[in-house]
Amino acid sequence: MTGNLRVGFIGCGLIGRSHARGVQAAGGADIVAVHDLDPARAAAFATDHGAGPGAVVASAEAVIEAADVVYVCTWTAEHPALVAAVAAAGKPVFCEKPLATSLEAANAMTAAVTRAGVTNQVGLVLRNSPSFRWLQHQATDPGAGPVMNVVFRDDQYLPVQGLYGSTWRADKAKAGAGTLLEHSIHDLDLLRWLMGPIRSVSARMRCLHGLDGIDDQASVLLEAESGAQATLTSVWHDVLSRPSQRRVEVFCQRAVFALEGDWSGPVSAERQPAEGPAGGVESLQGPALGQAAERLDGLGQNPDAAFLDAVRRGGPAYPDFAVALEAHRLADAAYRSAAADGTPVRL
Ligand SMILES: NC(=O)c1ccc[n+]([C@@H]2O[C@H](COP(=O)([O-])OP(=O)(O)OC[C@H]3O[C@@H](n4cnc5c(N)ncnc54)[C@H](O)[C@@H]3O)[C@@H](O)[C@H]2O)c1
């Protein structure tokens, strides 16, 4: 492809705006067509991201027609049909997480983009986080010994308030479920990345807020094929001073890691050397952590720049639908286990 890529957006809310900033920062691309069920939202989005009011179009089909690449940033239940339409047009697609409200639909979407042979990427953006990139590399380094246990806590206020400013996350028909699917699909993906293939999932869940089908408490136990174990606690409370926060501890046989900030650290490491005295605690955060992660994998912190690069190369993007599908398998197993009173589900 030569010249600037023409980018289209379907869904102009919170995360659409985040990707529009990423596209603008990446350069070499222009936002040319945007559509939202709320035309005022689409108009403000177009104006704020250098596209101008002429970029607002009346339908998703018009976005797909006008653009070289399409971002699907609507609430979750709309993703499958929109992705199917982009894939049918043979165009690259970036879809927000979760891919869909069910494993079956996520499976069909992955099959559709694979069949169409289009570059595809999912908004599992913590794969670009310096904190998790550094943690994953250190914890899977043979010098640390095998991963034994992971303690993963993810909490935020019920996201129908505060900066989210929308109510669809309280509606099972639009969101599919609550904290584990809508939010902690990120965490399931990260745990699989840290621990390798998972063989068993058990879970307990509850809906304290009384929203039908919207879990706001989830406790999940994952067992990996390697023998590693993880507990994931995912909570939607009402403490409005706490937007999304994660704390992760990884216990390997000869090293212990702790992650406090899920993008810029701090992340600490305490290692037991093969010989001699223990080395104390090493801690990294901010730009030093960003540089350390960059030296390890060269991945960068802008998922949109990476996606657009992959489109220009005509190659695969990362993380793609196939990666997200594995996280959906874990979420589905967790919901099935919770429905069966915590009985483990074997994968
Ligand atoms: N990757 C992340 O970390 C992250 C963070 C936030 C949200 N998300 C995901 O992004 C998606 C959107 O979340 P949000 O916070 O931006 O929600 P939002 O409510 O801010 O925006 C969603 C927008 O989609 C529009 N919409 C819905 N159906 C549509 C359709 N068929 N055609 C056109 N527009 C449509 C709505 O009018 C709304 O403006 C969800 O799937 C969510 O899980 C991901």
Q: Quick check: 87 and 116 in contact, CB under 8 A? A: yes
CA of 97 to the centre of ligand 1 (A): 10
Residue 169 shares a structural domain with residue 244: yes
pLDDT in tens, 220-235: 999 999 999 999 999 9
Number of Cα atoms under 13 Å in the Cβ half of residue 93: 31
pLDDT in tens, 296-317: 999 999 999 999 999 999 999 9
Supply the pLDDT for residue 218.
Answer: 98
Residue 132 shares a structural domain with residue 277: yes
The SS3 assignment for 257 reads: strand
Residue 216 shares a structural domain with residue 135: yes
Task: Decide if 342 is inside a domain.
Answer: yes
Residue 120 shares a structural domain with residue 216: no
Q: Whose CA is nearest to atom 2 of ligand 1?
A: 123
**Proportion of the chain above pLDDT 90, given as a percent:** 94
CA of 77 to the centre of ligand 1 (A): 10
Average pLDDT value for residue range 5-20: 98
Per the structure, how many domains does the chain have? 2
Residue 278 shares a structural domain with residue 215: yes
Residue 178 shares a structural domain with residue 265: yes
Task: Decide if 146 is inside a domain.
Answer: yes
Supply the pLDDT for residue 88.
Answer: 98
Supply the pLDDT for residue 165.
Answer: 80
CA of 17 to the centre of ligand 1 (A): 10
Residue 161 shares a structural domain with residue 256: yes
Domain CATH number, residue 23: 3.40.50.720
Give me the phi and psi of 98, to 5 degrees please: -65, 155
Task: Decide if 15 is inside a domain.
Answer: yes
Task: From the CA of 42, give the closest atom in ligand 1.
Answer: 39
CA of 342 to the centre of ligand 1 (A): 31
Task: Decide if 323 is inside a domain.
Answer: no
Task: Decide if 155 is inside a domain.
Answer: yes
Q: Whose CA is nearest to atom 4 of ligand 1?
A: 15
Q: Is the pLDDT of residue 45 over 60?
A: yes
Residue 159 shares a structural domain with residue 283: yes
Domain CATH number, residue 195: 3.30.360.10
Residue 308 shares a structural domain with residue 333: no
Q: Is the pLDDT of residue 52 over 90?
A: no
Q: Of the ranges 162-171, 206-215, 225-234, 287-296, which one carries the lowest mean pLDDT score? A: 162-171
Residue 153 shares a structural domain with residue 240: yes
Q: Is the pLDDT of residue 2 over 80?
A: no
pTM assigned to the model:
0.97
pLDDT in tens, 110-157: 999 999 999 999 999 999 999 999 999 999 999 999 999 999 999 999
d(CA 317, CA 234): 28
**Proportion of the chain above pLDDT 70, given as a percent:** 99
d(CA 134, CA 328): 24
Domain of 28 in residue numbering reads as 5-124+304-318
d(CA 109, CA 122): 11
CA angle 24, 29, 31 (to 5 degrees): 75
Residue 272 shares a structural domain with residue 176: yes
Q: Is the pLDDT of residue 1 over 60?
A: no
Task: Decide if 171 is inside a domain.
Answer: yes
Residue 223 shares a structural domain with residue 282: yes
Burial class of residue 34 in the structure, from the number of CB atoms within 10 Å of its CB (0-12 exposed, 13-18 middle, 19+ buried): buried
Q: Is the pLDDT of residue 82 over 80?
A: yes
- Classify strands 281-284 and 345-346 as parallel, antiparallel or unpaired: unpaired
